[in-house]
A and B are shown apart, each in its own frame.
Chain A
Amino acid sequence: MSSANQLLLEAKNVTKYFGTITALENVNLKIHAGECLGVVGDNGAGKTTLMKVLSGLYKPSAGSLHFEGKEKVLESPRDSQNLGLEMVYQDLALAGNLPIGENIFLGREPTTNLGLLKFLDYKKIKELTEAHLGKLKINVKSADQKVEELSGGQRQAVAIARSTAFNAKVVIMDEPTAALAIKEVGKVLDLINSLKKTGVGVIVISHRMDDIFAVCDRVMALFQGTNFAESELSNTSRDEVIGWIMGKK
C-alpha cells in the first residue's frame, strides 16, 4: 500500500484537440494516495475528456502523464489498468448481457491456457467475485445474476467493484451518483470513503456539490478546457465552487 500523501498521478500541461476543437489546453492535475479530488465544471468544460486521457482511452495531443514520478505513455485502457489506474464511467461501461462476475473480470479473466486457446476459469471467477463483493459489502442475489437485471445503484456498485478488483491505486469516477436514487447515493459515498482509507487516490467528477463536499479533500474547476481554480475543500465554500463552474472568481 502506498504511504499517505505520496504523489500517485500527475498530468502536466495536457492538451487535447479534436480536429479544430480544443477540448483541453495545458491542464494540470495531481492526485495523492488516500486523497479524494473533486473535479467540477460545466458541460463541455473538458472533465470527461480529461478523464479519458487519464484512462488511456484518448491520447493527449500534447503534455505528459506521470505515475509515481515516472512519465508514462498510455496506449490503451489496458496500459492504465496495468499501472493501477481504474475508471468508473458515467454510463458504467458494463455489458448487460453478462453476469456480474464476468463484468468485474471482463478483459482480465482468469484462464487455463491450452496452446493458443484461453479457457475461462468460471469457478475462480465466481469465487473471486463473491469474495470481492463481500469485502466491499455489496449485496446482490448471486454473482451469476446478469447486470441488466440489477438496479441503478447495484450497477454502480458493480462498476466500482470492477475498478477495485485488481489493487487499484487511483480510481476515477465520472458522475458516480448521477443516476442513483437518494438512498443509494449514501452507499456509493460510503464506498468512496472506504477506498480512501485503504490508500486509494479517488478522483470524483461531479455536478453535485453534496457529493463533492461529502467525500473530497480538494476540488479543482475546469472552465472551457483550462484549469480555472483549485483549492483545499476547507478553504472554500459551495457558493465559491459554483461560481467557478460558471467562470466567476
Chain B
Amino acid sequence: MDSKDQDKDSLYLKLIPYFEKYGILLLLVIMIVVMHFLQPDVFLSWRNVTNVFKQISWQSMLALGVFMVIVTAGIDLSVGSIMMLSLMILAIVAKAGAPWYIVVITPLIAGFLCGLFNGLGITLLRMPHPFIMTLGTLYIFRGTGNLISGGTPISGFTDEVRYLGHGRIDLTWFGLEKSQYLPVSLVLIAIVYIIFWIFMNKTRTGKWIYAIGGNPNAARASGINVNKILVIVYSLCGFLSGIGALILAGRTDSGYPNAGLQSELDAIAACIIGGASFFGGRGTVLGVFAGVMIMGILRNGLNLMDVSSFWQQVLIGSIIVLAVYVDVLRRDFGTRK
C-alpha cells in the first residue's frame, strides 16, 4: 500500500467514530430538510413542531427505558403494559379524590414497582432470557390494569395532574404570540434525557451497564454485582414507563384499556433506529432521541401528506432493517476478526 492510499485509509478510519456517533443525527437532519421541502408551509410551523414533540412525548420515555435494557443485551416487552397499568392506577386514585400530588406520584411508583418485579423475576427466577419474563408481564400487567378498572375508560383529571402532558409554557413574554407556546412535555423530555445522558455516560453505574452489555462475564469477574445492576436497569425502565403514563394521562385526560398497546415495539424500533445494538453494550442516549424523532417525524410528515398509515408501517419497518444492516456493516469495519 503506498502512502497516499494509507492517508486515504486513515482519514476514512478516523471518520468512522464520528459517523458512528453522529450519523443518525445526520439522517434526522436530512429527514427534516426533505419534509420541509415537501411541506414548506406546514412542516416547520410552530404548531406542527410542537405537535411532533407532543406526539412523541410519552413514547420517548418508553424508548429511553427500553434503551438502557437493550444496552445490557436484554429486552423489555412489558413497557406498554406497565404504562397502561400505571395509568389505570393513576385514574383510580384520581377518581377516589386523592390530592393531585398523590395522583401525580402514583404512576411513578407503580411503574417503578412493575420494573422491579421484572428485574427480580429475571434475576431471582434465573429466566433464560428477559424476553420471557417481560413477555409474561406484558400480559400480567395489562390484565391487572383491566381487572382493577373493569376494562372501561376512566376520564377526567384535574389541571395539576394533566400539567406535564398538557401544560403550556407561555412565551408572550418574549414577544411571541399566544399560539406560540412551549409544551411542558417538551421541557420534560429535555430534562429527563439530559439526566439519563449524564447517568449513562458520567456515572459508574452507567459504565457498568455498558460493561454488562459488552461482556457480562467480564463484569462479573470484575466484582460487579451484575444482578443488582440489572434490577436497577429494569426498575428505571419501569419508572420511565410510569412517567410516560403521567404524560399520557395529561394528553388524553383519560385512563383507557388500549393505552400503550404495541408501544413496546415502537420503543424497541426507536432504539434500533437510533443505533443501539441488540448484542448489547452499544448505543447512545442521543441516538435514542434521534430514533424517537425519526419515527415521530416520519409519522407526522406522512400524515401531513395524507399517506395511508399502511405505508407508514412499511416505511418504519424498512428503516429498522436498514438501520440494523448499517450496524452490521459497521461491526465488520470496526472489529478485528
Question: Which residues from chain A sit less than 8 Å from chain B, CB to CB?
Answer: 55, 57, 76-78, 81, 87, 89, 91-98, 102-103, 106-109, 111, 117-120, 148-151
Whether the pair A106, B336 counts as a contact (CB closer than 8 A) is no
Measured between beta carbons, the chain B residues less than 8 angstroms from A150 are 336
Whether the pair B215, A102 counts as a contact (CB closer than 8 A) is no
Measured between beta carbons, the chain B residues less than 8 angstroms from A96 are 214-215, 281, 335
Nearest Cβ on chain B to A25's Cβ, whole angstroms: 25
Whether the pair A95, B210 counts as a contact (CB closer than 8 A) is yes
Whether the pair B203, A108 counts as a contact (CB closer than 8 A) is no
Interface readout for B320-337 with A: 1 if CB under 8 Å, 0 if not? 000000000000001110
Interface residues of B in 190-217 (CB under 8 A from A): 202-205, 207-208, 210-211, 213-215, 217
- 9 nearest A-B residue pairs (beta carbon): A78-B223, A107-B222, A95-B214, A97-B214, A97-B281, A93-B218, A93-B221, A118-B204, A106-B222
Which residue on B lies nearest to A95, using beta carbons?
A: B214
Interface readout for B260-286 with A: 1 if CB under 8 Å, 0 if not? 000000000000000000000110000
Measured between beta carbons, the chain B residues less than 8 angstroms from A149 are 334-336
Whether the pair A118, B213 counts as a contact (CB closer than 8 A) is no
CA distance A89 to B222 in the complex (A): 11
Q: Of the candidates B211, B225, B334, which one forms a contact with A106 in the assembled complex, judged by CB atoms under 8 Å apart?
A: B211
CA distance A76 to B219 in the complex (A): 12
The SS class assigned to the B binding surface is helix
Residue B224 at the A interface, CB < 8 A? yes
Whether the pair A102, B207 counts as a contact (CB closer than 8 A) is yes
Nearest Cβ on chain B to A163's Cβ, whole angstroms: 10
Measured between beta carbons, the chain A residues less than 8 angstroms from B335 are 96, 148-149
Nearest Cβ on chain B to A57's Cβ, whole angstroms: 7
Q: Of the candidates B203, B217, B225, B282, which one forms a contact with A118 in the assembled complex, judged by CB atoms under 8 Å apart?
A: B203
8 examples of A-B residue contacts, CB within 8 angstroms: A77-B222, A87-B221, A91-B217, A95-B210, A95-B214, A97-B214, A102-B207, A118-B205
Interface readout for B217-234 with A: 1 if CB under 8 Å, 0 if not? 111111111000000000
Asked, given contacts A102-B207, A119-B203, A150-B336, whether A77 binds B218 with beta carbons under 8 Å apart, the answer is no
Measured between beta carbons, the chain A residues less than 8 angstroms from B217 are 89, 91, 93
Measured between beta carbons, the chain B residues less than 8 angstroms from A95 are 210-211, 214-215, 218-219, 281
| Chain A CB within 10 A, most for which of B205, B207, B217, B221 | B221
Which residue on B lies nearest to A79, using beta carbons?
A: B223
CA distance A118 to B219 in the complex (A): 17
Measured between beta carbons, the chain B residues less than 8 angstroms from A111 are 204
Measured between beta carbons, the chain A residues less than 8 angstroms from B213 are 97
Measured between beta carbons, the chain B residues less than 8 angstroms from A76 are 223, 225
